[in-house]
Chain A
Amino acid sequence: MKSLHAQHHPLADTSYQLTVLNPEQQVGQAWPAFAGKLRETGLLPLRPLGVGTLQLNVGKMCNQTCKHCHVDAGPDRTEIMTRETMELCLQALRQAPGMQVVDVTGGAPEMNPDFRWLVEQVSALGRQLIVRCNLTIIVANRKYHDLPAFYRQHGVRVVSSLPHFSAARTDAQRGEGVFERSIRALQMLNAEGYGQEGSGLVLDLVYNPSGAFLPGNQQALERDFKQRLRREHGIEFNNLLTITNLPVSRFLDYLMESGNYAAYMDKLVQSYNPAAAANVMCRSTLSVGWNGYLYDCDFNQMLELRVDAAAPQHIRDFDLGQLSARSIVLNQHCYGCTAGAGSSCGGATV
C-alpha cells in the first residue's frame, strides 16, 4: 500500500483535509465549530497548563503503511529530522528543565539514521524518554534486533501500537502479517525485562479502534488484552492506552471511502465531554516536526497547523515563556480528543 502522498491523493493536501473538516465549507453537513464547544465549557482560548512534554516527530519514514495512520507514513516517505534540528531540540531541553518528558515518534522513529544518537543525548540529560515503537521494526531487519537491549540500556519507556489481541483485527488495520511480527517483537522486549514486574522497564500498548467506532473502556480493554496476550502468547505489558482515531489523513480517507465520515463526526460531536476537553494533551505538550517547526500536537502537525503566530514558529527560536502563553490552535479534528473518556498520547484523559 502506498501513502496518500505517493498516490497524489487529494487528501495528501492538508488544505483539502481542512476543507473537508470544516462545517462552513461542508455541503449538507453542519457540525458545530469545536471552538464554540470549548467556549461553552469556558475553555476558550485554550491555554497550555505548562510545557512538560516535548514531542519530537523525527520523520515520516516507516516500514508499515497502516490504514489509520494520521501521519500518512510509509516506506515511500523521505521526510526525516536532521541531526542539526535534533541539536536545536536538545538546546531547548537544556533551556527548559521543566520539560521532563521527551516523546519520540514518527513514522518508525528508529529508521531515522540519527535516532540512536538522539536517544543517547536525551538520556544523558536525565529526561524521561518515550519511544513510540511500532514493534515490527524490531524484527524487520537484523540491524534492529538489538533495539530492546538499547532501550533497556537507556531506560526508555516503550509505547507500542497493537490494535487487537486477535491477528485478524490487527492485520486489517496495520497490514498482513503485522500481528505475528508484533508478537515476536513483544516477546523480545519481554525477554529484555520490559513489562516484567519489578524490572522498572515500562512497556505500554496502544489500542486504536480498527474502524469507525470509539475505543471502549480503557481498564476493561487492558484486562482483556492482558488475559489474552498472557494466555495465548506469554506476553506481559504494563498499561493499555486507548486512543481515538482522529479524522486526519489516512483515517479520514478510510472514513470517506467507507461512507462512515458523517456518522463518525456525529458520534465525535455527540460524545463531546467537557471533562475530557479540560485535560487534552496539547495543554502540556509541544510538538516538533521533522523540519523543526512547532505545533500544539502531532495531529495539528499533520494538518500543517503551526502554533499560534504570536509564539515562536521554529525550535531554533524556542522561548518557553512565549510558548507557555500561547493560544492552542483548534480545528474540527479536535473533537476526537474530547469524545467520551478523552484521548491523548497517554490514553484516556478522564
Chain B
Amino acid sequence: MEKTYYNPADLAKFGNITEWQSEMGRKFFDYYGEVFKDGALTEREKSLIALAVAHAVQCPYCIDAYTTDSLQKGADEAQMMEAVHVAAAIKGGAALVHGVQMMNKAKELTM
C-alpha cells in the first residue's frame, strides 16, 4: 500500500496523545469538550466554524471530522460550502492585505 503522511485511521487515535503527557492531554480534551458545547453559539454554528478553520489550517483529519460532525448536527451542503468560502476569503484576504506592505516598501524604494 502506498504510504502517505496522513492516515485516516489515525483520526480515531487522537485520544492516544494523552499516553505520553496525560495531564496536559486531559486538560486539552476537557477544554476541547467545553468549547464545543452549546453556548452563546449553537453546536451547529461551532461545528461550521471548526469546518472553516479546518480548511484554513489545512488539516485533513479536522476536515473529515467536522464534515461528519456538521452533517450530524444538521448542516447542509450549502452551509458547509459557505463556511469553506469564509475560510477562503479570510485566507485570500490575509494574503492580499499584505499587498499594502509590499506597496509601501515598493514606494519607499522607487522613484
Contacts and interface: CB of A to CB of B under 8 A. Distances in A.
Interface of A: 164-166, 168-169, 207, 209, 211, 213-217, 220-221, 223-225
B70 to A, nearest CB: 9
Nearest to B8: A263
A214 B78 contact: no
Contacts of B74: 164-165, 207, 216, 220-221, 224-225
15 contacts: A164-B76, A168-B77, A207-B74, A209-B71, A213-B71, A216-B44, A216-B72, A216-B73, A217-B38, A217-B43, A220-B44, A220-B74, A221-B74, A224-B44, A224-B74
Interface of B: 38, 42-44, 68, 71-74, 76-78
Given A211-B71, A216-B43, A224-B74, 17 more contacts: A164-B74, A164-B76, A165-B74, A166-B76, A166-B78, A168-B76, A169-B77, A209-B71, A209-B72, A214-B72, A215-B72, A216-B72, A220-B42, A220-B74, A221-B74, A224-B42, A225-B74
A148 B98 CA distance: 62
A164 B71 CA distance: 11
A215 B42 CA distance: 16
Given A166-B78, A168-B77, A168-B78, A213 B42 contact: no
The interface residues of chain A, by DSSP majority, are classed as loop
B72 A213 contact: yes
Nearest to A224: B74
A264 B35 CA distance: 27
Contacts of B72: 209, 213-216
Contacts of A209: 71-72
Contacts of A217: 38, 43, 73
B78 A223 contact: no
A211 B77 CA distance: 12
Nearest to B76: A166
A301 to B, nearest CB: 28
Contacts of A169: 76-77
A83 to B, nearest CB: 41
Nearest to A221: B74
A239 to B, nearest CB: 15
A103 B97 CA distance: 62
List of 7 A-B pairs having minimum Cβ-Cβ separation, nearest first:
A216-B73, A166-B76, A216-B72, A213-B72, A221-B74, A169-B76, A213-B71
A60 B35 CA distance: 46
A207 B72 CA distance: 11
B43 A220 contact: yes
